[in-house]
Amino acid sequence: MINTWRKLFSKHESIRAYTLLSPALILVILAMASPLLLMVLTSFHTQVSMMEIDSTLTLDRYADFFSRPVYSTLLFRSIKISFLVTLVTLLTTYPLAYYIAFYVKKNKMLWIVLMTLPFWTSYLLRVFSWRVILGHKGVINSALMFSGAIDEPLSFLIYSQTAVVLTLAHAWAAFAILPLYVSLDKIDKSLLEASYDLGCSKFQTFWRVTFPLSLPGVIGAILIIFIPTVGDYVTPQLVGGTDGRMLSNMIQSLFGRANNFPLGAASAVLMLLSVSFVALVVTYITKKVSLRMS
């Protein structure tokens, strides 16, 4: 028995590969694939009462979703906010990553660690500290009032979409810096010199060579930020107010107080689909645009 196994094992590379993969594979199947399937399945059911779910398959929950405008509004808002978060994060972290990759000569690792240092503290703590900064009696408003620039607190700072975008962009910055830095650092410096040599200024070189070559990192950062932030519900809850509520807050309440698991599941499935779609489109456009530019 053991001998046959040993023979198979040494003969077939695929058996060796799957054996090595099996712990991860089992985890992914148990903890990712099956809950996901369960959720999709639930989205076709009906909540009858508090504890009872009718498991006849139906598309009614999807009809529910589209018949009530609030869901679509929240979905679009989620996508819009995540899109803005992604944009703000990229615009702020790209220059940092660029600086570390091209201008820092020694101790690059130290710089990276310093950049990511704030992210070693708890996510919740960071969201709360943004409340301290943006709040009605927060750092910014008090300073502005003290200096006499304004008479009453700026209301758009906290409990608004701006607050959600700012907080999320800061929270996810570290995840953007790393892929951006890696892709920029990998660029062969002689390519940039070749571009100068062929007549391009530094600015043109950036758009024709550096940026297109850093695209894998940019796309990586886009996906890493966009996908999870769409589903974030802690930040909108804490700094978003009513204006900053996102679909994920609604899903949370459907699985909680509102107690409509099937509708929650349907919303989640629709969110999953739209996020995948938007992510694909963004990736595609980024690639196209950069090819045109070079």
Partner 1 sequence: MDDKNFIKINNLSKNFDDVVAVDNVNINIGKGEFFSLLGPSGCGKTTLLRILAGFEYPSEGSVSIDGSDVTDIPANLRPTNMVFQNYAIFPHINVKRNIEFGLRKEKISAEEVNQRVSEALKMVKLEGYENRFSNQLSGGQRQRVALARALVKRPKVLLLDEPLGALDKKLREEMQIELRNLQRSVGITFVFVTHDQEEAMTMSDRVAVMNQGKILQVSPPRELYDFPVNLFVGDFIGDINLLNSEISNIDGKNVKVLINGIGEYTIQAHTIINQNDTIVTGIRPKSINISSNDNKKSDIQVKGKITNTSFYGNLTYVYVSIEGVDKALMLSTAESLQGLSINSDCYLNINLKDIRVIKKNDP
The residue (of 191 and 280) whose beta carbon lies closer to partner 1 is: 191
Q: Is 212 in the site for partner 1 (CB under 8 A)?
A: yes
Q: Of the candidates 56, 147, 201, 242, which one interacts with partner 1 according to CB under 8 A?
A: 201
Range list of β-strands (E), 135-279: none
The residue (of 158 and 222) whose beta carbon lies closer to partner 1 is: 222
- How many other C-beta atoms can be found within 10 angstroms of the C-beta atom of residue 50? 6
49 is written with which tokens?
A: 């009462």
Identify the three-state secondary structure at position 53: strand
Q: Is 191 in the site for partner 1 (CB under 8 A)?
A: yes
235 is written with which tokens?
A: 């930040």
The residue (of 54 and 188) whose beta carbon lies closer to partner 1 is: 188
Q: Is 285 in the site for partner 1 (CB under 8 A)?
A: no
Q: Is 291 in the site for partner 1 (CB under 8 A)?
A: yes
Q: Of the candidates 154, 200, 223, 227, which one interacts with partner 1 according to CB under 8 A?
A: 200
Angle at 258 between CA 254 and CA 262, to 5 degrees: 45
Question: Which 150-189 positions form the footprint of partner 1 (CB under 8 A)?
Answer: 188
Q: Of the candidates 76, 196, 207, 277, which one interacts with partner 1 according to CB under 8 A?
A: 196
Q: Of the candidates 195, 229, 248, 267, which one interacts with partner 1 according to CB under 8 A?
A: 195
- CA atoms within 13 A of residue 103's CA, in its CB half-sphere: 6
The answer to whether the CB of 224 falls within 8 A of the CB of 275 is: no
Token look-up 């509004």 returns 73
Q: Is 292 in the site for partner 1 (CB under 8 A)?
A: no
